[in-house]
Amino acid sequence: MSYKFSKEELKELLVDYNEIALKDFNLPSKVCIWDETLRDGEQSPTVYLTLDEKIHLAKMMDEIGVKIIAVGFPAVSESEKKIVKTIVNEDCKKASIVGIARPKKEDIDACIDADLQEIVVFMPISPIFMKTLKLKKEDELSQISSAINYAKDNGFKVNWVSEDGTRAEFEHIKNVLQTAIKAGAERVVIGDTVGVLTPQSTSYLMKRIKKEVIQPLNKEIPIGIHTHNDFGLAVANTVTGVFEGCQYPHTCINGYGERAGNAALEEVATILERMGIDTGIDLTKLPELSAVAEEYFCQPISQYKPIVGDYAFSHESGLHIAAILAHPLTYEPINPKMVGRRREFYLGKFSGSKSIMHALKEKLKMLDLECIPDEIIKKIVTEVKQKHESKSKEEIRNSFHIIKNELNKITKGLTDKEFFNIVNKYAQPFVPKEFKPKDEK
């Protein structure tokens, strides 16, 4: 299809403030996507994945170019250890399969039993967690050093993750990261565990880590960033981290994850590719990966979700459609084909007669019905618009409530009352007498 504007004209008609704003940044030419869907993603409320589902998703991610796939926590249980071991032995071609461990010998031993070759050692390092776990700063540094040394002695490639690192004192962040690196960690990751960062604070923190932690060591240590979406900023913070030099952005398919979720794989990869940063991801395979994960998680994604949502490349407004016909970049940031999608026009209340006529004429061409007179086409257009506008809002609202009720059935959790009734059922014999109701004493 020929458009109104040529590529040369578009360069003059479109101002790219991303290019202007980032011209002084030393952007990485390439990053490696580290995906957490099978670990952190599975912590989405009410979600669990079968072994076959995990294997299928791992293989799909491996095929599209994900470099690191976190698959579980072997020390949690024997069944979890078996799941991790099975996935490890599925022989992914491109990706490295990793499991996680606390800085404890028994956790690392469980990773040995799971046949892992690469692991993630993690520990919360913020003051609130240290007080909760009754740990001192010196205790943490000692445990980190001992655990990483033990893991290295057993042949593991080790990554370090500072859980809740974005709420820790910077001096402790520095000591923790340098301790991990000196002990043999090959990558270090900062975790924004409760999603409190903004792009500005992400930029500030990453600059300090590079300048005050990494540079004094005089060695190249890749940095990763793990963000949560509690305030809707997971993708923005992850992308900002990459702009500041993080080579290992953490993601989850469809943004799944505990609470409000994690940075969405499809959004992070597409934004970075659009900025000229090679992610190694085959973007055209993202819709299929998204759809499979959506079915396995039983967590429907929004039709308006960026990149993979049903309406991400759809248009109804007459003004928009008219502009799109002049050139898609008027109302689209990228060509849908870049991410394996197709543009769709919806005919309805806001379509405008000209856009409907154009769409209709295109369809008639395909059916060899170009001979239909314009006055007949206009009658068809009028009825299309009337049909959409006459649809009962009450009917639409009823459908909405049915959908919401069905969703509640697959995502229902326990209320506080239900939870404590179960606790009371089993814990009552162990409750001290002074806390029991009078009639039970």
The CATH number assigned to the domain holding 48 equals 3.20.20.70
Q: Would you say the C-alpha torsion 59, 60, 62, 68 has a positive or negative sign? A: negative
**Are residues 209 and 251 both part of a single domain?**
yes
Q: What is the DSSP letter of 317?
A: -
Distances (CA, A) of 128 to 125, 133, 163: 8, 9, 12
Residue 1 belongs to a domain: no
pLDDT at site 325: 63
**pLDDT at 400 (0 to 100):** 80
Residues 264 and 399 in one domain: no
**Shared domain check, 261 and 322:** no
pLDDT reported for residue 387: 67
pLDDT the model gives residue 150:
98
Cβ pair 357, 381 in contact under 8 A: yes
Q: Are 430 and 381 part of one and the same domain?
A: no
Determine the Cα–Cα distance for residues 181 and 165; give it in Å rounded to an integer: 16
In sequence order, what DSSP letters do the residues of 220-289 get, joined into one string?
---EEEEEB-TTS-HHHHHHHHHHTT-SEEEEBGGG--STT-B-BHHHHHHHHHHTT-B----GGGHHHH
Which DSSP state fits 165? G
Residues 280 and 408 in one domain: no
Please report whether residue 427 resides in a domain.
yes
Same domain, 380 and 272: no
Into how many domains does the chain fold?
Answer: 3
The answer to the question of residue 400 being in a domain is yes
Question: Do 236 and 382 belong together in one domain?
Answer: no
67 and 102 co-located in one domain: yes
The residues near 169 (Cβ < 8 Å, ≥ 6 apart) are 127
Q: Where are the beta strands (DSSP E) in 171-222?
A: 187-192
Assigned domain for 179 exists: yes
Check whether residue 84 and residue 209 sit in a common domain: yes
The tens-digit pLDDT sequence of the chain (441 residues) is: 567 777 788 888 889 999 999 998 989 999 999 999 999 999 888 888 999 999 999 999 999 999 999 999 999 999 999 999 999 999 899 999 999 999 999 999 999 999 999 999 999 999 999 999 999 999 999 999 999 999 999 999 999 999 999 999 999 999 999 999 999 999 999 999 999 999 999 999 999 999 999 999 999 999 999 999 999 999 999 999 999 999 999 999 999 999 999 999 999 999 999 999 999 999 999 999 999 999 999 999 999 999 999 888 887 655 556 666 666 777 678 888 999 988 877 665 555 555 566 666 665 565 565 666 777 767 777 776 676 666 667 887 888 888 888 877 777 677 778 878 888 888 777 766 665 555 555
Q: Is residue 8 part of a domain?
A: no
3-state secondary structure of 158: strand
326 and 421 part of one domain: no
Residue 178's domain spans which residues?
Answer: 26-297
pTM value?
0.85
164 contacts: CB under 8 Å, gap ≥ 6: 124, 125, 126, 128, 129, 191, 193, 194
Report the pLDDT value the prediction gives residue 281, as an integer from 0 to 100. 98
Q: What is the dihedral of CA 404, 405, 406, 407, to 10 degrees?
A: 50
* Whether residue 62 is found in the same domain as residue 175: yes
195 and 336 share one domain: no
Residue 358: per-residue pLDDT: 63
Interior/surface letters 223-246, b for 16+ CB within 10 angstroms, e for the rest = bbbbbbbbeebbbbbbbbbbbbbb
**Residue 9 included in any domain:** no
Question: Does 374 map to a domain?
Answer: yes
Find how far residue 221's CA is from the centre of its chain: 24
In terms of C-beta distances under 8 Å and separation of at least 24 residues, what long-range contacts does 305-313 make, across chains too?
305/254, 305/264, 306/264, 306/266, 306/267, 306/270, 307/264, 307/266, 307/267, 307/270, 307/339, 307/341, 308/254, 308/266, 308/339, 308/341, 312/336, 312/341, 313/341, 313/342, 313/343, 313/344
Which tokens in the block code for residue 207?
């600059």
Residue 160 lies in a domain: yes
